């Protein structure tokens, strides 16, 4: 391939490399289905690279550092947050995409944005808004709302169709992982990678954090998990990544070996029963429920207390949902204290 000079040629060179190197099953940036609002091409970056950069620099992405993964407002420095979870998903996803010659830029953009609409206090916050918000609430749907309607003062990030599809379809539920692909097929293999790597990441790092917190004992993890995946964090990740690459190479879908998939599902089941539903976590998440329920009722009753421009115009319930979903754990607690906790009387 002839190499040209000057910034105007860089994107075209990258697109040419993608045509030459990527798998026939990859989604090339030059073949994107485009954006809702057409834009002039960037001289240096492909469409998917621009999406990744827009996500990385937006406010909602930065707030992920203050949102719970599993353990609410932990004092320890090494527990995962929603941001570190996102970065782990992106790293594992890129490793697999590179091995399969799929589009790393597309994978990274989807991974960085997949949880961008998550609530404070993790799934505890999600369950509160699902109950209170008209029409319900799901973090995948709200992540799409963030990038389409909430960021950039309501204009959204104007991401490509492929990235938005990956965000919308990343959630799996607790059924068999292979069934998620059949019930909710993604537009690209890159999106399939992120959907599976989301599970690979959280199942392993949530166990790691639970052991650190004293809520899980590695000796109690089902024996078939250790036998099939390995007994350490790094060994389990390595096994899962190798299985995904081996089972997916040259194929029009992303999968892992049946035995490996079963072991991962058993690990998820163990986490649900022994960690996510543990009395210690249930007790603290009940407090999180109370905080967000109180804030929701307050903002619905007093819509003028939502800062101007923070969320788009709309009915009070929609605005309260958007505003609360965007909060970090710390900000939600500060707002609760300001609205509901009596403050000491100040002397003149």
Per-residue model confidence as pLDDT tens digits over 247-296 = 999 999 999 999 999 999 999 999 999 999 999 999 989 999 999 999 99
Q: Which residues pair with 160 in a beta bridge?
A: 35
Distance from C-alpha of 173 to C-alpha of 58, rounded to nearest angstrom: 27
Residue 214 lies in a domain: yes
Whole-number pLDDT of residue 344: 81
Domain holding 26, by residue range, is 7-33+45-339
- Provide CB contacts within 8 A for 30, sequence distance 6+: 15, 18, 19, 46
Q: Is 255 helix (H, G, I), strand (E, B) or coil?
A: coil
Q: What's the confidence (pLDDT) of residue 240?
A: 98
Q: Is 157 among the domain residues?
A: yes
Rounded-to-10 torsion of CA 54, 60, 66, 70: -100
Q: How far apart are CA 63 and CA 9, in angstroms?
A: 35
Residue 347, in any domain of the structure: no
Calpha distance 190→172 (Å, rounded): 15
The Cα 234–Cα 231 span in angstroms is 9
Residue stretches of the chain with pLDDT short of 50: 1, 3
Alpha-carbon separation of residue 76 from 18, 81, 185, 209, 248 (angstroms): 43, 11, 39, 10, 38
pLDDT of 4 reads 53
Which two tokens mark 82? Answer: 């929603």
Rounded to whole angstroms, the Cα distance separating 90 from 194 reads 8
In angstroms, the CA 78 to CA 342 distance is 34
pLDDT of residue 345: 78
CB 66 within 8 A of CB 328: yes
Structure tokens at 270: 């163990």
In a domain, 40, yes or no: no
| Cα 246 to the center of its chain, rounded Å | 25
Whether the model clears a pTM of 0.85, i.e. scores above it, the answer is yes
Q: What is the reported pLDDT for 9?
A: 87
Is 344 inside a domain boundary? no
Tell me the CATH number at 228. 1.10.3210.10
Measure Cα distances from 287 to 1, 69, 217, 277, 336 in Å.
61, 16, 26, 15, 11
Alpha-carbon distance of 94 to 100, in angstroms, equals 10
The pLDDT of residue 73: 67
pLDDT for the residue numbered 138? 95
Residue-level pLDDT at 183: 78
What's the CA gap between 277 and 175, in Å, rounded?
18
Question: In total, how many domains does the chain have?
Answer: 1
Classify residue 107: in a domain, yes or no. yes
Biggest alpha carbon distance in the chain? 78
CB-side exposure of 326: number of CA atoms within 13 Å? 21
Burial readout 1-23 (b: 16 or more C-beta within 10 A, e: otherwise): eeeeeeeeebbeebbbebeeebb
Q: Judge whether 345 lies within some domain.
A: no
In the three-class reduction of DSSP (H, G, I as helix; E, B as strand; rest coil), residue 253 is classed as coil
Q: Does residue 346 fall inside a structural domain?
A: no
Structure tokens at 261: 């998939």
The predicted pLDDT at position 164 comes to 98
């Amino acid at each position: 391939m002839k190499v040209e000079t000057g910034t105007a040629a860089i994107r075209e060179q990258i697109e040419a490399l993608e045509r030459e190197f990527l798998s026939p099953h990859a989604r090339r940036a030059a073949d994107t289905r485009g954006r809702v609002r057409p834009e002039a091409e960037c001289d240096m970056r492909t469409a998917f690279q621009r999406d990744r950069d827009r996500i990385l620099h937006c406010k909602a992405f930065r707030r992920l550092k203050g949102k719970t993964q599993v353990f609410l407002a932990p004092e320890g420095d090494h527990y995962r947050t929603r941001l570190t979870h996102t970065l782990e998903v992106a790293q594992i996803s890129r490793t697999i995409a590179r091995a399969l010659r799929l589009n790393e830029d597309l994978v990274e953009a989807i991974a960085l944005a997949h949880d961008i609409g998550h609530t404070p206090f993790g799934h505890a916050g999600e369950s509160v808004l699902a109950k209170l918000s008209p029409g319900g609430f799901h973090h995948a749907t709200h992540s799409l709302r963030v990038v389409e309607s909430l960021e950039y003062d309501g204009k959204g990030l104007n991401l490509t169709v492929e990235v938005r599809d990956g965000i919308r379809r990343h959630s799996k539920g607790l059924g068999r992982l292979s069934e998620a692909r059949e019930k909710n097929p993604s537009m690209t293999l890159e999106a399939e990678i992120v959907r599976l790597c989301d599970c690979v990441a959280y199942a392993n790092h949530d166990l790691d954090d639970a052991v650190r917190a004293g809520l899980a004992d590695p000796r109690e993890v089902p024996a078939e998990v250790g036998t099939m995946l390995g007994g350490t964090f790094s060994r389990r990740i390595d096994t899962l990544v190798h299985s995904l690459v081996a089972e997916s190479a040259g194929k029009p879908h992303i999968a892992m070996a049946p035995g490996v998939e079963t072991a991962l599902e058993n690990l998820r089941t163990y986490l649900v029963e022994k960690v996510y539903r543990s009395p210690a976590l249930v007790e603290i998440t009940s407090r999180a429920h109370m905080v967000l329920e109180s804030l929701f009722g307050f903002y619905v009753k007093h819509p003028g207390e939502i800062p101007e421009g923070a969320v788009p115009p709309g009915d009070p319930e929609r605005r309260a949902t958007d505003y609360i979903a965007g909060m970090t754990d710390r900000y939600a607690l500060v707002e609760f204290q300001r609205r509901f906790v009596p403050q000491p009387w100040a002397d003149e």
